[in-house]
Amino acid sequence: MSLAWPFALAALLAVPLLALVWLVMRRRRRRTAVRVSSLRLARAANGPSSRARTWVPAALLGVGMLLAGVAVARPQTTVDVATSESTMMLAIDVSSSMCTTDVDPNRLIAAQEAAVEFIEAQPEGTRIGIVAFSSIAGVVASPTSDKDDLVAAVDSLTTSRGTAIGQAILASIDAIASIDPDVAPTGVEVEATSTSADQDDDAGYAAETIVVLTDGSNSTGVEPVTAAEEAAARGLRVYTIGFGTTESASSSCSAGQVDTSQLMGGGGGGGGQTIDVATLQEVADLTGGEYFSADAADSLTEVLLDLPEVVDVQQEKVDVGNWFVLGAAGSAAAGVALSLWWGRTRRPQRAATTP
């Protein structure tokens, strides 16, 4: 727990001062006590009493004042909060190795089906953007809550040569910057604010996140770790998914799954490409994200469907001063009520007369 206004705790000094005044007043009352001939008659006149009737109400009032003093300092606690305004950028590898058939019918179709299922499972209003990358990376669907547009974008994906993971991260950053003025676009120098290594919780991260799904390793463009540093400087978490198996398999894509205009561009890619787990893990660790592995269509779908539980819950500081105010009011009210009730039972009683 932390305090937004710690200097306000100075108000607590009033509690011991008031307690001192109360004790001084009690001593003065004792000095002005009236002598009586019979202690028994005095007790009968005042009614039953005890130290508890004096000290309990005073203690409750004191606790109430202490809680009120803490409330003024605005205590805050860190809690998990569901972020309804978050945006997720889903960057999907469309290199030619996505035609590999180790995942039936091939990796691209399995990835498309998992992405569509993920999109359709999201609550209304959830914003998702789609980035496709091979030798280049581009936004095929800007962040939107329109599921029809998102599904159409996923269904239109085609493969080409090359794997530009770093460029995909940078393209995702720019897509987020276009809708969130608090996130600077690439090309703008930003001082690193936090990394997973020096941050104990999720506080300070942006609401937007990036998910990179790839079946290979970076073969062109900026290095993924360099791009991850750009994301980390902006408080953007990057979650990485390695898709596919290490088994040797043929490559098979239909004519509609291949972008013939880009066949001569880039380089790299191809069936049998090995997932660069170390780099994907480093990207995730550097940005405060997490690395996932999926070697089948079902496992990929499961990873994607579980992402909102990981991504959409952030830790934020919440003001809990109201609870201290309620505690202060309840304690003070209890003290006053007990004082009045016990004072009522101590009303002077009429002495019995004897004939």
Per-residue pLDDT, 198: 44
Let me know whether 21 and 135 are in one domain. no
Per-residue pLDDT, 193: 54
Point out the least confidently predicted range of 12-21, 98-107, 160-169. Answer: 12-21
Per-residue pLDDT, 352: 46
Give DSSP secondary structure letters for 166-201. HHHHHHHHHHHHTT-TTSPPTTS-------TTS-SS
Let me know whether 98 and 224 are in one domain. yes
With tokens 């539980």, the residue in question is 309
Residue 273 within any structural domain of the chain: yes
Let me know whether 300 and 326 are in one domain. no
Which percentage of the chain shows pLDDT scores above 90?
A: 40
Domain count for the chain, please give it.
2
Per-residue pLDDT, 89: 95
Q: What is the mean pLDDT of residues 198-204?
A: 50
Let me know whether 66 and 186 are in one domain. no
The residues, any chain, with a CB within 8 Å of residue 122's CB and separated by 6 or more, are 128, 147, 308
Residue 226 within any structural domain of the chain: yes
Provide Rg for the chain, Cα atoms: 34
Point out the least confidently predicted range of 1-10, 45-54, 180-189, 253-262. Answer: 45-54
Per-residue pLDDT, 83: 52
Would you call 227 exposed, middle or buried from its count of C-beta atoms within 10 A (0-12, 13-18, 19+)?
A: buried
pLDDT score of 262 more than 60: no
Q: Which domain holds residue 292?
A: 84-311
Residue 354 within any structural domain of the chain: no
Let me know whether 177 and 281 are in one domain. yes
Let me know whether 99 and 208 are in one domain. yes
Let me know whether 178 and 34 are in one domain. no
Q: What is the mean pLDDT of residues 218-223?
A: 94
Q: What is the chain's mean pLDDT, rounded?
A: 78
Per-residue pLDDT, 269: 39
Tens of pLDDT, residues 85-111: 578 999 999 999 999 998 989 999 999
Gap between the Cα atoms of 106 and 252, Å rounded: 7
- What tokens were used for 162? 């090359």
Residue 351 within any structural domain of the chain: no
- Confidence band, pLDDT 50/70/90 cuts, at residue 125: confident
Whether the predicted model's global pTM rises above the 0.75 cut: no
Gap between the Cα atoms of 203 and 217, Å rounded: 31
CA 113 to mean position of chain CA atoms: 29
Per-residue pLDDT, 314: 54
Let me know whether 264 and 323 are in one domain. no
Q: What is the CATH number of the domain that holds 176?
A: 3.40.50.410
Determine contact, residues 85/34, Cβ cutoff 8 Å. Answer: no
Per-residue pLDDT, 218: 95
Per-residue pLDDT, 195: 45
Residue 162 within any structural domain of the chain: yes
Long-range contacts of 245-249 (CB under 8 A, 24+ apart): 245/102, 245/103, 245/295, 245/296, 246/274, 247/102, 248/272, 249/100, 249/101, 249/102
- Confidence band, pLDDT 50/70/90 cuts, at residue 224: very high
Point out the least confidently predicted range of 117-121, 249-253, 329-333. Answer: 329-333
CA 96 to mean position of chain CA atoms: 37
Tens of pLDDT, residues 291-320: 999 988 899 999 988 886 555 555 566 677
